[in-house]
Amino acid sequence: MAPVVLVTGCTTGSIGYALCEEFARQGCKVYATSRRVETIAESSFPSIERLPLDVTSDESVAKAVEHIIEQDGKLDILVNNAGALVPGPLLDLDIDDVKRSFDLNTVSILRVSKAVVPHMAKRHSGLIINIGSVVGEIPTPWAGLYCASKAAVDSISKVLAMECQPLNIQVMHVAPGAITSNIAANGTSQFNLPEDSLWSAYLPDMIRRINASQGKQSMSGEDFAKQVVGKALQKKQPFYTYLTLGGQSLLFIILRWLPRTVLLRLMWRAYSKKE
């Protein structure tokens, strides 16, 4: 029986959408989800079913998971991909936006996993894939909220891996580098620097940071999906897998070895006006 996969955050042009296409290409039954299902383009793969799912709503999550179990009787792979970039200086951000961002990027992983894991536990089998980021380990200026939310995802993945090990449910943490997607365009549309910002002189650097993942060095969403899906469908999985790939991912691996003060100074210089 084909593996059944649930992917969150599958708007057209996202890495979630690319993952759905690749899972389907490999013979899986895929549920592509988004808060508004019309934001998910129709696929040429009949094994992809579009499903409304708001990862910030307990009711919506429960309804979607219930539908999948009713239709297929199981759920083999959960991909927690939903998330958004909220750019700008940390202290310029509205606190309500901060709370919404953590709910979408971080808390949602626990919300969806809580609904899915009991069904996986009944079959003593399952894989949870959490999409983090290289900046969850090495933060940059002007994207501090996104960095913080992804740092929390990194810790959640590690603890879930330990605690789900007795249930024979594996966890994979994926930390993408630069991947071609719609995240920068969405981030730009939501960006609004306050007129009284103490950091207004750095506006061009903020725009540059928003678009940092979209350039010649970026890996295509299709290539990203091929590698992640290939790893996910391997028959034997360790209880925890860490995977990083994409533009500049190797650089970020190297940067981890630097003293923290040196690293932060380098990140500041990379995304600030030269002094």
| Catalytic site positions | 146
- Could you give phi then psi for residue 81, rounded to 5 degrees? -110, -20
Q: What is the dihedral of CA 193, 199, 201, 206, to 10 degrees?
A: -60
Max Cα–Cα distance, the chain, nearest Å: 61
DSSP state letter for 178: B
Q: Where are the alpha helices (DSSP H) in 26-94?
A: 58-72
- Could you give phi then psi for residue 162, rounded to 5 degrees? -70, -45
* Cα distance between residue 133 and residue 112, in whole Å: 19
**Three-state DSSP state, 229:** helix
* Cα distance between residue 142 and residue 147, in whole Å: 10
* CA end-to-end distance (rounded Å), the chain: 61
Q: What's the angle, vertex CA 228, arms to CA 139 and CA 86, rounded to 5? A: 35
Residues in the chain: 275
Which amino acid, one-letter code, is at 94?
A: D
What would the DSSP string read from start to end of 58-69? HHHHHHHHHHHH
* Cα distance between residue 190 and residue 87, in whole Å: 8
